Amino acid sequence: MAPPGTPRPMAEGIRARLEDVLRVLRRYAQAEWFGSPFHLLRLRGRKPEGIAAAPRDPRPTDQRRGETLASGVFTLADQTLAVGPDGEPFDRPNPSRAFAEALHRMNWLGDLMAAGERGEREALRHVLSWARVFGGWNSFSWNTSILERRVLNLSCAMRRLWVHASDLERTRLMDVLARQARHLLKIKDGPSHAAEHACAAACAGSVLAGAAGGRLLETALERLNEALALTVLSDGGHASRSPQAGVNLLLDLLTLEDGLAQRGCPAPEEMGRALDRLATSLRVLAMPDGRLPCFQGGEAGEAAHLEAARRGSPLTDGPAGGSLPQTGYEKLTGPSLTVMVDAQAPAAGAWSEAACAQPAAIEIYCGRDRLITNCGWSPIASGPEAMRLTTAGSTVCVGEGSAGFLARGRIGKQFNARLKGGPTRVSARRQENPQGVWLEISHDGWEPDWGLVHERLLYLDRAADELRGEDRLAPAHPSSSARMAPVAVRFHLHPSVKASLARDRKSVLIQGPTTPGWWLRNDAQDVSIEHSVHYEGGQARRSTQVVLRSHVSTSEGGKIRWKLAAMTRGD
């Protein structure tokens, strides 16, 4: 991967760095306050009186994995920790930070309890062990992204844990859940995760009986209404533009809806509207392999999770649309090929903490085979945030820079940096008829460094069953001075895909695991197959990328044309 090279204007860089430093300092100050005795005293509140509901998380569970967990073997973030039948993972060093984060999120609780009574008893033992060590306060374990998931997972597990607990243990379980949910509502970290925080806290409120649960539920639902109005766009996309973030929020809301129904409480109006919109967007976001496209800080995710979201959602029947105009995605479909295109600027401001500087990036599927994709960096990735830059997307790169950059000093290494300086003007124009789909995208992401505008023209020919593309770079303004700009069109391949260069050193044969080969033909000056990576579950997998290289004049511009067509018998 080429590192970001060309610097942005000094004033812009200094301003962006200052904003990030101030944001990080605010987080440090908040973290110090959260660990103080005064804040911890505020979390006590009224004592819950029992269990009022058992919300069901629609995410599927794995009984076999649960049986392995019950035997004392924890495999998280592609690493394994064997603690033995009576051991605890919370009283010993973990293999990595990624493992520890997954452990403290407790996403494994559902799988463990799927192993039956033995699994439920083991789950109770592990939760009580966590409460003894971390239940008071811990800056790592109570980190917002970890805490949010744990509160929701504990809420769903609480009734089944309750069955095997003593009276003293039941009091401890209710108290630790209530304190974490109250803390979640006191976090002031901008709008980007407010809906997820409020939803998890509301789930806890639906579970806890008495005035404690009622007050928690009332406050959380008020926050949720406000947050959803900002988070869910009118076409059903998430304001961060991450497809995975939208599906995860939908699953959380379905969990909360079940908890509210068990308590006999109607869902707030804004929540019902958000559920309808998020469900509608699945028609576009569902890819032929049953997973999601890898765009804007979102991975492909698990097909079972997407299917669970579709089954539990309203309005998922009907024809699949081709556009999410507010979220900024365009879907082109033909007899064999499906193309997904990022047709909007990355999210800005508070929503850009996982945004990627990859304007006009594409993903291409043949049948169920994911052929061309993006690297799929996400906030849980065990890899550098540089994977959020342009070279990690299937799009055009000019020089060794990026159409957007990350500004952050040493003080904020543990927080995702916001994306700065990306394209400000992105336009998309689509035309469609029975013969094919034409899409033209233009953005100014390369104007600050090179004075060039990128125009990507795509035509999916349904009759010929092929995709034709043209990447143009045109001068943004007339200029008498000229320099030669190196241009690369990158096509990142899925790890299951093989690529080989033809004898002419131009054409590339791309072969998926279940479909015939496809020829990528082009008029670039140079063609190469290079190393790449693809993230799944936060872990990097080795892959390859096809790179088409040429040079264009900044005063005259230039273009690279390419075509993806099925291999025939004569090839």
Q: What is the pLDDT of residues 286-323, one digit of tens each?
A: 999 999 999 999 999 999 999 999 998 776 555 556 89
- Mean pLDDT to the nearest integer, 408-419: 62
Task: List C-alpha distances in Å: 352 to 190, 349, 356, 521.
Answer: 12, 6, 8, 35
Taking the C-alpha atoms of residue 492 and residue 123, their distance in angstroms, rounded to an integer, is 41
User: What is d(CA 540, CA 561) in angstroms, rounded to the nearest whole number?
Assistant: 31
- Residue 392: exposure state from Cβ atoms within 10 A (0-12, 13-18, ≥19): buried
Task: Report yes or no: 158 and 172 within 8 Å, Cβ to Cβ.
Answer: no
pTM of the shown model: 0.93
What confidence tens digit (pLDDT) does each residue in 76-98 have?
A: 999 999 999 999 999 999 999 99
Q: Please state, in angstroms and as integers, the Cα–Cα distance from residue 279 to each residue in 37, 197, 271, 275, 306, following that order.
A: 43, 20, 12, 6, 10
What three-state secondary structure class fits 116?
coil
Name which of 142, 140, 162 is nearest 150 in CA terms: 142
**Confidence class for position 6, pLDDT limits 50, 70, 90:** very low
Which segment of 4-13, 178-187, 200-209 scores lowest on mean pLDDT? Answer: 4-13
pLDDT in tens, 253-265: 999 999 999 999 9
Residue 208 DSSP SS3: strand
What is the DSSP annotation of 296-328? TT-----HHHHHHHHHHSSS--SPPPSEETTTT
Please report which confidence band the pLDDT of residue 379 belongs to, taking 50, 70 and 90 as the band edges: very high
**At 429, is the pLDDT very low, low, confident or very high (cuts 50, 70, 90)?**
very high
d(CA 413, CA 392): 20
Q: What pLDDT sits at residue 409?
A: 53
pLDDT of residue 514 exceeding 50? yes
What is the structure's pLDDT at 275? 96
Per-residue pLDDT tens over the stretch 46-68: 899 999 999 999 999 999 999 99
pLDDT of 188 reads 83
Question: What is the DSSP code (8-state) at residue 352?
Answer: G
Nearest to 534, CA basis, from 356, 368, 298, 373: 373
> In the predicted model, what is the mean pLDDT of residues 26-33?
70
Over residues 562-570, the mean pLDDT reads 87
Cβ(253)–Cβ(199) under 8 Å?
yes
User: What is the rounded average pLDDT for all residues in the chain?
Assistant: 91
* CA angle centred on 291, ends 285 and 293, rounded to 5°: 55
Task: Report yes or no: 424 and 11 within 8 Å, Cβ to Cβ.
Answer: no
pLDDT of residue 431: 96
Q: What is the C-alpha separation between 557 and 495, in angstroms, rounded?
A: 34
pLDDT category, 174, cuts 50, 70, 90? very high
Contact assessment for residue 151 and residue 204, using Cβ atoms and an 8 Å cutoff = yes
CA atoms of 353 and 3, how far apart (whole Å): 19
Q: Which residue has the higher pLDDT, 87 or 20?
A: 87
- Confidence bin at 1 (pLDDT 50/70/90): very low
